[in-house]
């Protein structure tokens, strides 16, 4: 059976979806060059970074440990409790606007250089495939070849390695949520002892395997929302990978009279992992992987022509005009970034290693006895640190003559624990002048931080209280 000729890319349809809905598998050719090398180095650095986070300990916890079971989130030495989840809004908007800003300036640098999908696919799974099945020509031939022992062995080896690598990645990903020792503990025990986690891991490993072994560029083309939203964030001044049509057109073999620099060798098409032709201009499938730049530079170098026929530049520059870096869009995104980042920093700076809640005890809102007006509260102290802490409670801004009962001694709250204790305030009837506000303030014994809560002291209107007393006297 002859290898079916791949459909030549056009702008009217997605190359990786045929007219009948089936998907032609892409076999991108190998590429070498300065961008390929730089991307390989940065990818390995990123993988090392992602995978080492659960191992590095800061303040006694892994650098990233999203402990869902204990509802404590440890990030680079900071510990967040569920009550701090509101911070996430500002952190995410800060990160989001940073991404807006970077995208408006540099286009899809995230996709090509830092996205885990690209990093793992281009620098882990594809190299394994290359090692086991050979270069693009061999891979395509192997896929088209009839079933044979060699084909079975090669395919089996490749897919076994894919599953193994996927399992390693998913286990380290799980370590983000349960920590490395816990993952190791679970791995050594019978799956029936932690059935739900086992099923989760099996499903997650299968998904990872499926995405990186078969689904691949479809994630970027069809699924990824960031890939799509970028069309709205970029403009003609944004850096992109493009083809210099002014220099390249009309295409023609080397030596043809009147021909431009492009020799129509189609190297840029053969190396493309999303099967597009970069010479057709900006396309939503392009993830900015730089393979076509390296491919074209290599050809131009061999021909003794200047490199950069395909290069990073703005659409304006490809049209012979100047790129404007400072423009309303980048100013706006930078402003939003600043707002997001400063609000996020402020929000994180308000974080305290404890929390306090003051609620009124069940029952009457206030109690009158013969001599006093009394309010009863329950104070909940939450210690977010992983060591016990002693707290001192104080009442501020209360009128003179208020007697505070409870909390006459420091309260010890266990590590990551909480203590609920009554707090009673009473005032002599004679001194009572009506309801008031006061402040409950806690400090740790080391006085490293304090927290306040505004609380109401309730009671009858002083006038009415006097009126009820009058007949007694």
Partner 1 sequence: MKQTIPESSDETLRPHSYDGITEYDKRLPNWWLNTLYITIVFWVGYWSYYQWLGIGQTEAEVVSIAMAKIEADRLSATTLDDAALWKMSQNADYVARGKVVFEANCVACHLPSLRGKTESPVAIGPDLTDTKWINGGKPTQVHELVMKGVLTKGMPTWGPVLGAKKITDVVAYIMSKHREGEAIVVEVSAPPAPTP
154 vs 279 by CB, closer to partner 1: 279
State in angstroms the smallest separation of the CB of 97 from partner 1. Answer: 27
State in angstroms the smallest separation of the CB of 18 from partner 1. Answer: 9
84 vs 285 by CB, closer to partner 1: 285
157 vs 424 by CB, closer to partner 1: 424
State in angstroms the smallest separation of the CB of 418 from partner 1. Answer: 12
12 vs 396 by CB, closer to partner 1: 12
State in angstroms the smallest separation of the CB of 399 from partner 1. Answer: 18
State in angstroms the smallest separation of the CB of 245 from partner 1. Answer: 6
Q: Three-state SS across the chain?
A: CCCCCCCCCCCCCCCCCCCCCCCCCCCCCCCCCHHHHHHHHHHHHHHHHHHHCCCCEECCEECEEEECCCCEEEECCEEEEHHHHHHHHHHHHHHHHHHHHHHHHHCCHHHHHHCHHHHHHHHHHHHHHHHHHCCHHHHHHHHHCCCCHHHHHHHHHHHHHHHHHHHHHHHHHHHHHHCHHHHHHHHCCCHHHHHHHHHHHHHHHHHHHHHHHHHCHHHHHHHCHHHHHHHHHCCCCCEEEEECHHHHCCCCCCCCCCCCCCCCCCHHHHCCCCCCCHHHCCCCCCCCCCHHHHHHHHHHHHHCCCCCCEEEEEHHHHCCCCCCCCCHHHHHHHHHHHHHHHHHHHHHHCCCCEEEEEEECCCCCCEECCCEEEEEEEEEEEECCCCCEEEEEEEECCCCCEEEECCCCCEEECCCCEEEEEEEEEEEHHHCCCCEEEEEEEEECCCCCEEEEEEEECCCCHHHHHHHHHHHC
Residues in contact with partner 1 by CB under 8 A are 10-14, 17, 19-23, 215, 218, 222, 245-246, 249, 279-281, 315, 318-319, 361-364, 366-370, 374, 376, 378, 403, 405-406, 419-424, 426, 460, 464, 468
Distances from the Cα of 336 to the Cαs of 166, 372, 441, in angstroms? 38, 55, 35
State in angstroms the smallest separation of the CB of 99 from partner 1. Answer: 26
280 vs 345 by CB, closer to partner 1: 280
279 vs 384 by CB, closer to partner 1: 279
State in angstroms the smallest separation of the CB of 372 from partner 1. Answer: 8
State in angstroms the smallest separation of the CB of 13 from partner 1. Answer: 6
11 vs 302 by CB, closer to partner 1: 11
State in angstroms the smallest separation of the CB of 321 from partner 1. Answer: 10
245 vs 392 by CB, closer to partner 1: 245
State the angle between helix axes of 149-178 and 180-187 in degrees (0 to 180), rounded to the nearest 10. Answer: 130
16 vs 79 by CB, closer to partner 1: 16
């Amino acid at each position: 059976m002859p290898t079916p000729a791949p459909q030549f890319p056009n702008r009217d349809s997605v190359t990786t979806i045929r007219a009948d809905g089936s998907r032609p598998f892409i076999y991108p050719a190998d590429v070498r060059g300065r961008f390929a090398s730089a991307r390989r180095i940065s990818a390995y650095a990123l993988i090392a970074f992602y995978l080492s986070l659960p191992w590095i300990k800061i303040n006694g916890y892994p650098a990233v440990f999203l402990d869902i079971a204990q509802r404590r989130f440890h990030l680079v030495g900071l510990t967040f409790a569920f009550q701090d989840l509101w911070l996430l809004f500002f952190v995410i908007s800060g990160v989001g606007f940073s991404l807006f800003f970077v995208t408006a300036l540099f286009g899809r640098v995230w996709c090509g250089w830092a996205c885990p999908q690209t990093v793992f696919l281009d620098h882990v799974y594809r190299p394994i495939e290359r090692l086991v099945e050979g270069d693009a020509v061999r891979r395509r031939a192997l896929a088209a070849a009839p079933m044979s022992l060699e084909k079975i062995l090669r395919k089996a080896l490749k897919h076994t390695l894919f599953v193994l690598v996927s399992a390693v990645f998913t286990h380290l990903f799980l370590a983000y949520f349960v920590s490395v020792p816990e993952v190791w503990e679970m791995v050594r025990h019978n799956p029936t002892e932690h059935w739900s986690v086992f099923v989760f891991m099996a499903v997650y490993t299968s998904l990872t395997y499926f995405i990186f072994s078969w689904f691949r560029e479809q994630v970027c083309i069809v699924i990824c929302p960031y890939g799509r939203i970028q069309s709205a964030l970029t403009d003609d001044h944004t850096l992109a990978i493009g083809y210099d049509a002014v220099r390249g057109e009309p295409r023609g073999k080397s030596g043809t009279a009147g021909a431009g620099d492009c020799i129509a060798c189609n190297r840029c098409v053969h190396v493309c992992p999303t099967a597009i032709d970069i010479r057709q201009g900006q396309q939503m499938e392009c993830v900015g992987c730089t393979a076509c730049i390296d491919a074209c530079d290599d050809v131009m170098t061999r021909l003794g022509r200047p490199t950069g026929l395909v290069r990073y530049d703005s659409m304006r520059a490809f049209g012979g005009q100047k790129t404007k870096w400072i423009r309303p869009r980048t100013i706006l995104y930078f402003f939003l970034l600043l707002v997001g980042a400063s609000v996020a920093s402020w929000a994180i700076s308000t974080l305290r290693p404890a929390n306090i809640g003051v609620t009124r005890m069940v029952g009457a809102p206030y109690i009158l006895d013969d001599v006093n007006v009394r309010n009863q509260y329950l104070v909940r102290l939450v210690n977010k640190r992983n060591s016990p802490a002693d707290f001192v409670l104080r009442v501020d801004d209360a009128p003179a003559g208020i007697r505070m009962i409870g909390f006459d001694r420091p309260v010890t709250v266990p590590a990551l624990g909480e203590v609920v204790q009554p707090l009673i305030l009473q005032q002599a009837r004679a001194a009572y002048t009506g309801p008031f506000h006061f402040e409950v303030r806690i400090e740790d014994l080391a006085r490293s931080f304090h927290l306040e809560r505004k609380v109401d002291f309730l009671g009858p209107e002083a006038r009415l209280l006097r009126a009820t007393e009058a007949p007694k006297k």
